[in-house]
Structure 1
Amino acid sequence: MLPFVKMSLLPLCTLLSLCVLAKTSPERTKTVEFNVKPGGVVHSFSEGINEYECTFTYASQGGTNEQWLMSVGLSEDGRLFSCSVWRPQGKSYLFFTQFKAELKGAKVEYANAFSQTAAAGQRDVPLKPEEFTVGESTVTQKDGKFSAQLSKLTVIGRTGHNEL
Protein backbone atom coordinates (compact mmCIF):
# COMPACT_ATOMS: atom_id res chain seq x y z
CA MET A 1 0.00 0.00 0.00
CA LEU A 2 2.90 2.40 0.63
CA PRO A 3 4.03 2.34 -3.04
CA PHE A 4 0.47 3.21 -4.08
CA VAL A 5 0.43 6.21 -1.70
CA LYS A 6 3.77 7.45 -3.07
CA MET A 7 2.57 7.15 -6.66
CA SER A 8 -0.74 8.91 -6.04
CA LEU A 9 0.91 11.75 -4.08
CA LEU A 10 3.66 12.34 -6.65
CA PRO A 11 1.40 13.94 -9.31
CA LEU A 12 -0.31 16.03 -6.63
CA CYS A 13 3.03 17.25 -5.21
CA THR A 14 4.30 18.02 -8.70
CA LEU A 15 1.15 19.98 -9.52
CA LEU A 16 1.35 21.93 -6.25
CA SER A 17 5.02 22.78 -6.78
CA LEU A 18 4.29 24.02 -10.31
CA CYS A 19 1.49 26.23 -9.01
CA VAL A 20 3.75 27.69 -6.32
CA LEU A 21 6.53 28.33 -8.87
CA ALA A 22 4.09 29.97 -11.26
CA LYS A 23 2.97 32.41 -8.57
CA THR A 24 6.44 33.32 -7.30
CA SER A 25 8.50 33.27 -10.52
CA PRO A 26 6.91 35.51 -13.13
CA GLU A 27 9.03 36.41 -16.12
CA ARG A 28 11.44 39.07 -14.84
CA THR A 29 14.02 39.32 -17.63
CA LYS A 30 14.16 39.10 -21.41
CA THR A 31 17.03 39.28 -23.86
CA VAL A 32 16.26 39.66 -27.55
CA GLU A 33 18.40 40.09 -30.64
CA PHE A 34 17.85 42.81 -33.23
CA ASN A 35 19.62 44.29 -36.25
CA VAL A 36 21.22 47.72 -36.08
CA LYS A 37 21.02 49.03 -39.62
CA PRO A 38 23.28 51.70 -41.15
CA GLY A 39 22.18 54.20 -43.78
CA GLY A 40 21.48 57.29 -41.71
CA VAL A 41 17.77 56.47 -41.33
CA VAL A 42 16.23 56.62 -37.84
CA HIS A 43 15.20 53.17 -36.54
CA SER A 44 13.63 52.07 -33.25
CA PHE A 45 13.51 48.79 -31.39
CA SER A 46 11.37 48.14 -28.28
CA GLU A 47 11.00 45.42 -25.68
CA GLY A 48 9.11 45.33 -22.41
CA ILE A 49 7.93 43.43 -19.38
CA ASN A 50 4.41 43.95 -18.09
CA GLU A 51 3.57 47.66 -18.46
CA TYR A 52 7.25 48.75 -18.65
CA GLU A 53 9.02 49.22 -21.96
CA CYS A 54 12.40 50.28 -23.30
CA THR A 55 12.77 51.81 -26.76
CA PHE A 56 16.17 52.25 -28.39
CA THR A 57 16.09 54.79 -31.24
CA TYR A 58 19.16 55.41 -33.37
CA ALA A 59 20.63 56.42 -36.71
CA SER A 60 23.99 55.07 -37.87
CA GLN A 61 26.33 55.15 -40.87
CA GLY A 62 28.90 52.84 -42.42
CA GLY A 63 29.39 49.12 -42.66
CA THR A 64 26.59 46.58 -42.77
CA ASN A 65 23.89 45.43 -40.36
CA GLU A 66 25.14 44.37 -36.94
CA GLN A 67 23.52 41.98 -34.48
CA TRP A 68 22.83 43.70 -31.14
CA LEU A 69 21.03 42.56 -27.98
CA MET A 70 18.51 44.26 -25.73
CA SER A 71 17.90 43.00 -22.21
CA VAL A 72 15.08 44.27 -20.05
CA GLY A 73 14.51 43.29 -16.45
CA LEU A 74 12.18 43.97 -13.57
CA SER A 75 13.41 43.68 -9.97
CA GLU A 76 11.74 41.17 -7.66
CA ASP A 77 9.92 43.94 -5.80
CA GLY A 78 8.86 45.59 -9.07
CA ARG A 79 10.46 48.92 -8.17
CA LEU A 80 13.28 48.95 -10.72
CA PHE A 81 13.14 48.40 -14.48
CA SER A 82 16.41 48.00 -16.37
CA CYS A 83 17.34 48.16 -20.02
CA SER A 84 20.67 47.34 -21.62
CA VAL A 85 21.51 47.56 -25.31
CA TRP A 86 24.86 46.24 -26.54
CA ARG A 87 26.84 44.65 -29.32
CA PRO A 88 27.79 41.15 -28.08
CA GLN A 89 30.83 41.02 -30.38
CA GLY A 90 32.17 44.15 -28.70
CA LYS A 91 33.25 47.04 -30.84
CA SER A 92 30.68 48.36 -33.29
CA TYR A 93 31.99 49.38 -36.68
CA LEU A 94 29.05 51.71 -37.20
CA PHE A 95 29.12 55.44 -36.54
CA PHE A 96 26.05 56.53 -34.61
CA THR A 97 24.77 59.93 -35.62
CA GLN A 98 22.18 59.74 -32.84
CA PHE A 99 20.88 57.46 -30.10
CA LYS A 100 18.18 57.56 -27.47
CA ALA A 101 16.92 55.06 -24.92
CA GLU A 102 13.48 55.78 -23.52
CA LEU A 103 11.79 54.06 -20.59
CA LYS A 104 8.01 53.86 -20.49
CA GLY A 105 6.58 53.55 -16.99
CA ALA A 106 9.83 54.33 -15.14
CA LYS A 107 11.96 57.38 -14.28
CA VAL A 108 15.70 57.13 -14.92
CA GLU A 109 17.77 56.60 -11.76
CA TYR A 110 21.04 55.55 -13.43
CA ALA A 111 22.39 55.57 -16.96
CA ASN A 112 25.71 55.01 -18.65
CA ALA A 113 26.91 54.65 -22.22
CA PHE A 114 30.08 53.01 -23.47
CA SER A 115 32.27 52.72 -26.54
CA GLN A 116 35.07 50.32 -27.36
CA THR A 117 38.33 51.35 -28.90
CA ALA A 118 41.35 49.38 -30.04
CA ALA A 119 43.48 51.63 -27.83
CA ALA A 120 41.57 50.36 -24.80
CA GLY A 121 42.20 46.74 -25.73
CA GLN A 122 38.61 46.18 -26.96
CA ARG A 123 37.01 46.76 -23.59
CA ASP A 124 34.17 49.08 -22.62
CA VAL A 125 35.15 52.69 -22.12
CA PRO A 126 32.50 54.99 -20.59
CA LEU A 127 31.46 57.88 -22.79
CA LYS A 128 32.41 61.26 -21.39
CA PRO A 129 29.57 62.85 -19.39
CA GLU A 130 29.38 65.69 -21.93
CA GLU A 131 28.63 63.19 -24.76
CA PHE A 132 25.14 62.27 -23.52
CA THR A 133 22.36 63.64 -21.38
CA VAL A 134 20.01 61.93 -18.93
CA GLY A 135 16.42 63.10 -18.74
CA GLU A 136 13.48 61.99 -16.63
CA SER A 137 12.76 58.98 -18.84
CA THR A 138 15.42 59.22 -21.57
CA VAL A 139 19.14 58.98 -22.26
CA THR A 140 20.29 60.64 -25.47
CA GLN A 141 23.43 61.81 -27.25
CA LYS A 142 24.40 65.48 -27.10
CA ASP A 143 24.58 66.96 -30.58
CA GLY A 144 28.06 68.19 -31.39
CA LYS A 145 29.59 66.43 -28.34
CA PHE A 146 28.93 62.72 -29.01
CA SER A 147 31.93 60.96 -30.60
CA ALA A 148 29.65 58.67 -32.73
CA GLN A 149 31.00 55.53 -31.03
CA LEU A 150 28.58 53.33 -29.07
CA SER A 151 28.92 49.71 -27.97
CA LYS A 152 26.68 49.54 -24.89
CA LEU A 153 23.96 51.57 -23.18
CA THR A 154 22.54 50.79 -19.73
CA VAL A 155 19.55 52.49 -18.10
CA ILE A 156 17.87 51.72 -14.77
CA GLY A 157 14.60 53.37 -13.85
CA ARG A 158 12.39 53.56 -10.77
CA THR A 159 8.89 52.32 -11.57
CA GLY A 160 6.92 54.10 -8.89
CA HIS A 161 5.50 50.69 -7.94
CA ASN A 162 4.26 50.75 -4.37
CA GLU A 163 3.71 47.73 -2.15
CA LEU A 164 0.30 47.67 -0.51
Structure 2
Amino acid sequence: MARFTDCFVLYSAVLLLVSVSPTDGSSERTTTVEFDVKPGGVAHSFSQTMGDHECTFTYVSQGGTNEQWMMSVGLSEDDKLFFCSVWRPQGKSYLFFTQFKAELKGTEIKHVNAYSQTAAGGQKNVFLPAEEYIIDRSTVTHNEGKFNAQLSKLTVIGRTLHDEL
Protein backbone atom coordinates (compact mmCIF):
# COMPACT_ATOMS: atom_id res chain seq x y z
CA MET A 1 0.00 0.00 0.00
CA ALA A 2 2.87 2.39 0.74
CA ARG A 3 4.16 1.98 -2.83
CA PHE A 4 0.76 2.99 -4.23
CA THR A 5 0.64 6.00 -1.91
CA ASP A 6 4.15 7.11 -2.95
CA CYS A 7 3.24 6.85 -6.64
CA PHE A 8 -0.02 8.71 -6.06
CA VAL A 9 1.79 11.55 -4.26
CA LEU A 10 4.42 11.81 -7.02
CA TYR A 11 1.80 11.71 -9.77
CA SER A 12 -0.31 14.33 -7.98
CA ALA A 13 2.73 16.60 -7.69
CA VAL A 14 3.34 16.40 -11.44
CA LEU A 15 -0.31 17.07 -12.23
CA LEU A 16 -0.18 20.14 -10.03
CA LEU A 17 3.06 21.37 -11.61
CA VAL A 18 1.75 20.86 -15.14
CA SER A 19 -1.68 22.34 -14.43
CA VAL A 20 -0.33 25.62 -13.03
CA SER A 21 2.62 26.09 -15.38
CA PRO A 22 2.46 28.59 -18.22
CA THR A 23 3.68 27.38 -21.62
CA ASP A 24 5.67 30.54 -22.31
CA GLY A 25 8.47 29.46 -19.98
CA SER A 26 7.92 32.39 -17.60
CA SER A 27 7.65 30.30 -14.43
CA GLU A 28 10.75 29.86 -12.33
CA ARG A 29 9.52 26.39 -11.21
CA THR A 30 8.52 25.08 -14.65
CA THR A 31 9.77 25.60 -18.18
CA THR A 32 8.09 24.38 -21.37
CA VAL A 33 9.81 24.64 -24.75
CA GLU A 34 9.25 23.41 -28.30
CA PHE A 35 11.75 21.30 -30.17
CA ASP A 36 11.89 19.54 -33.53
CA VAL A 37 11.74 15.76 -33.62
CA LYS A 38 13.66 14.80 -36.75
CA PRO A 39 13.19 11.52 -38.61
CA GLY A 40 15.92 9.79 -40.57
CA GLY A 41 17.07 6.89 -38.43
CA VAL A 42 19.88 8.71 -36.60
CA ALA A 43 20.06 9.59 -32.91
CA HIS A 44 19.12 13.12 -31.82
CA SER A 45 19.00 14.61 -28.33
CA PHE A 46 17.22 17.53 -26.74
CA SER A 47 17.93 18.78 -23.19
CA GLN A 48 16.50 21.25 -20.71
CA THR A 49 17.92 22.24 -17.36
CA MET A 50 16.46 23.69 -14.21
CA GLY A 51 18.94 24.56 -11.51
CA ASP A 52 21.16 21.54 -10.87
CA HIS A 53 18.81 19.18 -12.73
CA GLU A 54 18.68 18.25 -16.39
CA CYS A 55 16.42 16.18 -18.61
CA THR A 56 17.81 14.79 -21.85
CA PHE A 57 15.55 13.05 -24.36
CA THR A 58 17.48 11.00 -26.94
CA TYR A 59 15.63 9.28 -29.77
CA VAL A 60 15.77 7.68 -33.20
CA SER A 61 12.65 8.18 -35.33
CA GLN A 62 11.42 7.29 -38.81
CA GLY A 63 8.72 8.45 -41.20
CA GLY A 64 7.32 11.78 -42.35
CA THR A 65 9.06 15.10 -41.76
CA ASN A 66 10.09 17.10 -38.71
CA GLU A 67 7.40 17.52 -36.05
CA GLN A 68 7.05 20.06 -33.27
CA TRP A 69 7.15 18.42 -29.83
CA MET A 70 7.25 19.94 -26.35
CA MET A 71 9.40 19.35 -23.31
CA SER A 72 8.46 20.55 -19.83
CA VAL A 73 10.77 20.40 -16.86
CA GLY A 74 9.95 21.55 -13.36
CA LEU A 75 10.68 21.42 -9.67
CA SER A 76 8.21 20.96 -6.84
CA GLU A 77 7.86 23.83 -4.36
CA ASP A 78 10.07 22.01 -1.84
CA ASP A 79 12.71 21.15 -4.51
CA LYS A 80 12.37 17.44 -3.71
CA LEU A 81 10.83 16.38 -7.04
CA PHE A 82 12.02 17.11 -10.57
CA PHE A 83 9.86 16.16 -13.52
CA CYS A 84 10.30 15.98 -17.25
CA SER A 85 7.55 15.47 -19.80
CA VAL A 86 7.88 15.09 -23.60
CA TRP A 87 4.85 15.08 -25.94
CA ARG A 88 3.39 16.22 -29.24
CA PRO A 89 0.88 19.02 -28.57
CA GLN A 90 -0.77 18.78 -32.00
CA GLY A 91 -1.97 15.29 -31.18
CA LYS A 92 -1.26 12.40 -33.50
CA SER A 93 2.34 11.90 -34.52
CA TYR A 94 3.20 10.61 -37.96
CA LEU A 95 6.67 9.64 -36.80
CA PHE A 96 7.50 6.48 -34.95
CA PHE A 97 10.34 6.13 -32.50
CA THR A 98 12.55 3.11 -32.99
CA GLN A 99 14.54 4.02 -29.87
CA PHE A 100 14.17 6.42 -26.97
CA LYS A 101 15.91 7.28 -23.74
CA ALA A 102 15.11 9.92 -21.12
CA GLU A 103 17.79 10.73 -18.59
CA LEU A 104 17.31 12.83 -15.47
CA LYS A 105 20.52 14.19 -13.99
CA GLY A 106 20.60 15.03 -10.30
CA THR A 107 17.67 12.76 -9.44
CA GLU A 108 16.67 9.20 -8.77
CA ILE A 109 13.65 8.16 -10.86
CA LYS A 110 10.58 7.31 -8.78
CA HIS A 111 7.76 7.24 -11.33
CA VAL A 112 7.30 6.96 -15.10
CA ASN A 113 4.23 7.25 -17.31
CA ALA A 114 4.77 6.32 -20.95
CA TYR A 115 1.97 6.50 -23.50
CA SER A 116 1.20 5.39 -27.02
CA GLN A 117 -1.62 6.45 -29.30
CA THR A 118 -4.70 4.32 -29.70
CA ALA A 119 -4.51 1.67 -32.40
CA ALA A 120 -7.37 3.36 -34.25
CA GLY A 121 -5.15 6.41 -34.77
CA GLY A 122 -7.23 8.62 -32.50
CA GLN A 123 -6.06 11.45 -30.32
CA LYS A 124 -6.33 9.43 -27.13
CA ASN A 125 -3.15 8.32 -25.37
CA VAL A 126 -3.07 4.92 -23.69
CA PHE A 127 -0.45 3.57 -21.30
CA LEU A 128 2.51 1.96 -23.02
CA PRO A 129 2.87 -1.62 -21.74
CA ALA A 130 5.51 -1.73 -18.99
CA GLU A 131 7.48 -4.46 -20.79
CA GLU A 132 8.22 -2.01 -23.64
CA TYR A 133 10.58 0.16 -21.56
CA ILE A 134 13.20 -0.22 -18.84
CA ILE A 135 13.58 2.06 -15.81
CA ASP A 136 16.80 2.32 -13.87
CA ARG A 137 18.11 4.84 -11.37
CA SER A 138 18.31 7.85 -13.71
CA THR A 139 17.10 6.68 -17.14
CA VAL A 140 14.06 5.31 -18.94
CA THR A 141 14.94 3.44 -22.13
CA HIS A 142 13.04 1.49 -24.76
CA ASN A 143 13.26 -2.27 -24.28
CA GLU A 144 15.03 -3.61 -27.38
CA GLY A 145 12.91 -6.27 -29.07
CA LYS A 146 9.78 -5.45 -27.05
CA PHE A 147 9.26 -1.75 -27.82
CA ASN A 148 6.64 -1.34 -30.59
CA ALA A 149 7.74 2.18 -31.70
CA GLN A 150 4.51 3.81 -30.52
CA LEU A 151 5.70 6.41 -28.00
CA SER A 152 3.48 9.51 -27.97
CA LYS A 153 4.16 10.98 -24.51
CA LEU A 154 6.60 10.37 -21.70
CA THR A 155 6.56 11.77 -18.14
CA VAL A 156 9.34 11.01 -15.68
CA ILE A 157 9.48 12.08 -12.01
CA GLY A 158 12.64 11.91 -9.97
CA ARG A 159 13.38 12.60 -6.34
CA THR A 160 16.17 15.17 -6.22
CA LEU A 161 19.46 14.19 -4.65
CA HIS A 162 20.35 16.56 -1.82
CA ASP A 163 23.44 16.54 0.32
CA GLU A 164 22.18 16.28 3.88
CA LEU A 165 24.21 17.69 6.74
TM-score for both structures, normalised by structure 2: 0.80
1:22-72 Cα distance to aligned partner (Å, 9 max, x none)? xxxx81100000000000010000001001000000000010000000000
Pair 48,105 (structure 1): closer, same or farther in 2 beyond 3 Å: same
Match runs of 1:41-52 below 5 Å: 41-52=42-53
Aligned to 1:116: 117
Aligned to 2:91: 90
Aligned to 1:131: 132
Q: CA deviation at 1:117?
A: 2.3
Aligned to 2:106: 105
Aligned to 1:140: 141
Aligned amino acid, residue 78 of structure 1: D
Aligned to 2:28: 27
Aligned amino acid, residue 141 of structure 1: H
1:52-98 Cα distance to aligned partner (Å, 9 max, x none)? 00000000001000000000000110000000000001221111110
**When you count helix as a share of all residues, which structure comes out higher?**
1
Aligned amino acid, residue 32 of structure 2: T
Superposition RMSD on alpha carbons, in Å? 1.6
| Equivalent-residue separation in structure 1 for 2:75 and 2:139 (angstroms) | 18
Q: CA deviation at 1:159?
A: 0.4
Indicate the structure (1 or 2) with the bigger Cα radius of gyration: 1
- Asked if the contact 1:82/1:155 (under 8 Å) is kept, the reply is yes
Aligned to 1:40: 41
| Equivalent-residue separation in structure 2 for 1:129 and 1:144 (angstroms) | 13
1:83-141 Cα distance to aligned partner (Å, 9 max, x none)? 00000012211111100000000010001110112527421111001100111000010
- Asked if the contact 2:58/2:101 (under 8 Å) is kept, the reply is yes
Q: CA deviation at 1:160?
A: 2.2
- Asked if the contact 2:92/2:122 (under 8 Å) is kept, the reply is no
Aligned amino acid, residue 134 of structure 2: T
Corresponding residue pairs, total:
139
